[in-house]
Amino acid sequence: MLATATRLSYRAGALRINAARLMDTLHHTCQWGATAQHGPALTDTGMCRLALSDEDKVVRDWFGAELQATGCEVSVDQMGNMFGIRSGNHIGAPTVAGSHLDTQPTGDALRTLRDAGHRTEYPVGAVNWTNEEGARFPRSLHGSSVWAGDLSLKDALALEDVKSPGLTAGHDLERIGYRGSLPADVARNPLAAHFELHIEQGPILEDAGAQIGVVLGGQAYRWFDVHISGRESHAGSTPLDVRADPLLCAARLMELANTVARDLSGVATTGILSLRPGSINTIPGTVDLTLDIRHISDEKLDEMEARILDEAEGITKRLGTNGCSIEWKKTFQKAPVMFHDDCVGAITEAAERHLGEGGAQTIYSGAGHDSCSTARHCPTGMIFIPCKDGISHNPVEYSTPEDCAMGAQVLLDAMLLYDSKRVA
């Protein structure tokens, strides 16, 4: 950790990402899990590469080989998280680029280091976190949560495939050969810093015409299951003024949550709603819905929650919904995450080097990412690039090759800036 005054620190842009190679690699790896062709080109497909599937094994094998080819030592922990680390001038915890499945920009950053023969101060590398999405095994940030101590290894391995009850994550980790021996534990496998490049999954950067988003942190969020009971009755013979219609109550609740979110600059969403009995001429007896509320401030989120729950009581006294009752169950809550000044600073410096002052837009992440797991244990930062129409998790998800290359460039630069400052 000795710094020498004469050492030149890294200057952003000194090493350049090979944009053409990056796109080739992106498309190359999309052969494993390509689905939902939606246009004439070979690459007009969606991707469906579920965690711990055969396709996941193939891309993991490919990624491991690529890491080794860039001079990394590859290890796999008990959760199948893959760490590829390239040594530096000093021994110490590595600065890494974390990612999941779509591990290519990270790979290209490491190839660039190799090709330039660049030696970092401390180790740098890449992590492929297991099952970030939680689509097949229903726990998002699955691998990184175990590493961070938010989820026990036992519970994580026992998690079952949503479509094949009894088939555990532990079983399939074993099956594809990625149940490693390295402890999935921040204390025994620490990181010096964690950077992550991701598409925004929203429309803010595109609307602002910004090519890079410097992510300041992640929103706090809370999930509720809401059960509304009313009075099932006949659509024709029940006048409006004697109805206790739980679906109209749900409608008013959704409008209320939207109004409160707007007033307090948060967001509120209902993504699931079901009702009983479900007949065209029957006022439902019960409605179940979810409510997802988010804010960058936990205090403001407290205020949102209190206002929604309080004002919802008024709805149960209005005409048409008078007599409905609302039960709330909070099923999940997540505190806000603030990223580290040093990481945010390195990303900003890198982005401004390429885009000019003000060329990087600060932004908060609305979604959960592995960086939210790492942020409480090591300095962490995230970079967003725009995605077309804010669409993600959809076959038509698209980011331009230029934005992908710029994202990889800023990632590389930010990691090297951070690394060089460890000895400054």
- Among 114, 234, 317, 330, contact with its own copies (rule: CB under 8 A): 234
Determine, following the binding rule CB under 8 A, whether residue 242 of this chain makes contact with its own copies.
Answer: yes
Q: How far is the CB of 163 from its own copies (least distance, A)?
A: 15
Determine, following the binding rule CB under 8 A, whether residue 232 of this chain makes contact with its own copies.
Answer: yes
User: In 10 A of CB 383, how many CB atoms?
Assistant: 27
Q: How far is CA 257 from CA 10, 110, 263, 310, 313, in A?
A: 48, 46, 10, 11, 13
Determine, following the binding rule CB under 8 A, whether residue 262 of this chain makes contact with its own copies.
Answer: yes
Identify which range of 39-47, 76-84, 100-108, 389-397 contacts its own copies by CB under 8 A.
389-397
- Among 11, 171, 231, 354, contact with its own copies (rule: CB under 8 A): 231
Name, in order, each residue with C-beta under 8 angstroms of 125's C-beta and a sequence gap of 6 or more: 67, 72, 83, 84, 85, 86, 94, 95, 96, 97, 110
Of the two residues 126 and 226, which places its CB atom closer to its own copies in the complex? 226
* Count of residues that interact with its own copies, criterion CB under 8 A: 61
Of the two residues 14 and 242, which places its CB atom closer to its own copies in the complex? 242
Determine, following the binding rule CB under 8 A, whether residue 132 of this chain makes contact with its own copies.
Answer: no
Determine, following the binding rule CB under 8 A, whether residue 207 of this chain makes contact with its own copies.
Answer: yes
Q: How far is the CB of 330 from its own copies (least distance, A)?
A: 13
Determine, following the binding rule CB under 8 A, whether residue 222 of this chain makes contact with its own copies.
Answer: no
Determine, following the binding rule CB under 8 A, whether residue 393 of this chain makes contact with its own copies.
Answer: yes
- Among 160, 354, 389, 423, contact with its own copies (rule: CB under 8 A): 389
Determine, following the binding rule CB under 8 A, whether residue 13 of this chain makes contact with its own copies.
Answer: no
Determine, following the binding rule CB under 8 A, whether residue 240 of this chain makes contact with its own copies.
Answer: yes
- Among 35, 37, 164, 394, contact with its own copies (rule: CB under 8 A): 394
Encoded one letter per residue, x for contact with its own copies by CB under 8 A and - for no contact, window 272-291 reads: xxxx--xxxxxxx-----x-
Of the two residues 209 and 278, which places its CB atom closer to its own copies in the complex? 278
Determine, following the binding rule CB under 8 A, whether residue 297 of this chain makes contact with its own copies.
Answer: no
Determine, following the binding rule CB under 8 A, whether residue 248 of this chain makes contact with its own copies.
Answer: yes
- Among 40, 117, 166, 271, contact with its own copies (rule: CB under 8 A): 271
Q: How far is CA 275 from CA 112, 135, 213, 271, 280, in A?
A: 55, 25, 40, 14, 12
Determine, following the binding rule CB under 8 A, whether residue 209 of this chain makes contact with its own copies.
Answer: no
Of the two residues 75 and 282, which places its CB atom closer to its own copies in the complex? 282
Classify each residue of 353-374 as buried b or exposed e, where b means 16 or more C-beta atoms within 10 Å of its C-beta: bbbeeeebbebbbebbbbbbbb
Encoded one letter per residue, x for contact with its own copies by CB under 8 A and - for no contact, window 61-100 reads: ----------------------------------------
Determine, following the binding rule CB under 8 A, whether residue 365 of this chain makes contact with its own copies.
Answer: yes
- Among 58, 93, 153, 251, contact with its own copies (rule: CB under 8 A): 251
CA nearest 204: which of 404, 359, 362, 84?
Answer: 362
Contact footprint for its own copies (CB under 8 A): 200-204, 207, 219, 221, 223, 231-240, 242, 245, 247-248, 250-252, 254-255, 258, 261-262, 267, 269-275, 278-284, 290, 292, 294, 319-320, 365-368, 389-394
